[in-house]
C-alpha cells in the first residue's frame, strides 16, 4: 500500500527528549521500509541555517527553513522528522498550514527535571545569568495548545513514548501497522484513540 508523505514535528524545551525520541521513531520507520529524513535542530543550525543567531527573527527564520524542507520531503512521499525547540507558536502554526499531513509532538517536562537532566549544565548557566537567550529561562517557550501527540517525558519511559507516537501514526493511517502482534496495552490504546477523536481524526 503506498503511504502518504508526512511531517512529524517535535517541539519542546531543551533536554526534553526530542532528539532521542525522533531518532527512535526514525529507526522504526526505516525498519518498516519507509523513506525517512531526520532534521535535528542542532545539525540543521550547522548546515542549512549556519550564521543565524538566537534573536526571535533568527529563530523564526531557522524554523521556517526547516519547515520548508519538511514540506518538500512530505509532498514527495517521504517522512520528514523535525526535532527543534521551535519556541514560537505562530511559526509552528505557519508550518502547519503550509505542510500537508503535519503531526505535532509536544515533548513536555518540568523545568526542574530538565535542569537535572542537562549534562552540559546549560540550564544552570542560564539561571545564573551566564547564558543569554536560553529558551525557557531567559527566552520564551510557547507550548502547543493542541498537539496531535503529547509526550510527558518525566512520566513515561523513552520506549513508552516512542510506541505512543508510532501507534498514533498507525491510527491516523500515515504508517503501516506493526508486522508483529500489537504490544500496546488496552489503556494506552484508549488514550490515543480518545486524543485523536478529540482532534477530529477518527
CA distance 34 to 136: 35
Choose the catalytic residue: 19, 74, 86, 153: 86
Sheet holding 6-11, edge to edge: 36-40, 79-83, 6-11, 102-108, 149-152
Q: How far apart are CA 166 and CA 176, in angstroms?
A: 10
- Residue 59 grid coordinates: 529563530
Distances (CA, A) of 142 to 17, 71, 189: 17, 23, 28
Decide if 86 is catalytic.
Answer: yes
Under a CB-based contact definition with an 8 Å cutoff, are residues 168 and 197 in contact? no
Other Cβ atoms less than 10 A from the Cβ of 100: the count is 12
Catalytic residues: 86
Amino acid at each position: 500500500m503506498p503511504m502518504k508523505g508526512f511531517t512529524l514535528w517535535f517541539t519542546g524545551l531543551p533536554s526534553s527528549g526530542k532528539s532521542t525520541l525522533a531518532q527512535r521513531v526514525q529507526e522504526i520507520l526505516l525498519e518498516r521500509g519507509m523513506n525517512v529524513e531526520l532534521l535535528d535542530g542542532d545539525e540543521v543550525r550547522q548546515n542549512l541555517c549556519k550564521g543565524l543567531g538566537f534573536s526571535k527573527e533568527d529563530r523564526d527564520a531557522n524554523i521556517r527553513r526547516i519547515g520548508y524542507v519538511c514540506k518538500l520531503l512530505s509532498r514527495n512521499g517521504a517522512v520528514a522528522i523535525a526535532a527543534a525547540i521551535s519556541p514560537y507558536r505562530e511559526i509552528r502554526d505557519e508550518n502547519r498550514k503550509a505542510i500537508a499531513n503535519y503531526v505535532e509532538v509536544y515533548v513536555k517536562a518540568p523545568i526542574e527535571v530538565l535542569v537535572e537532566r542537562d549534562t552540559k549544565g546549560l540550564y544552570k548557566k542560564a539561571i545564573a545569568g551566564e547564558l543569554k537567550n536560553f529558551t525557557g529561562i531567559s527566552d520564551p517557550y510557547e507550548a502547543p495548545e493542541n498537539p496531535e501527540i503529547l509526550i510527558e517525558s518525566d512520566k513515561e519511559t523513552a520506549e513508552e513514548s516512542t510506541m505512543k507516537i508510532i501507534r498514533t501514526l498507525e491510527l491516523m493511517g500515515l504508517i503501516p501497522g506493526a508486522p508483529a502482534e500489537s504490544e500496546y496495552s488496552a489503556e494506552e490504546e484508549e488514550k490515543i484513540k480518545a486524543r485523536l477523536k478529540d482532534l477530529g481524526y477518527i
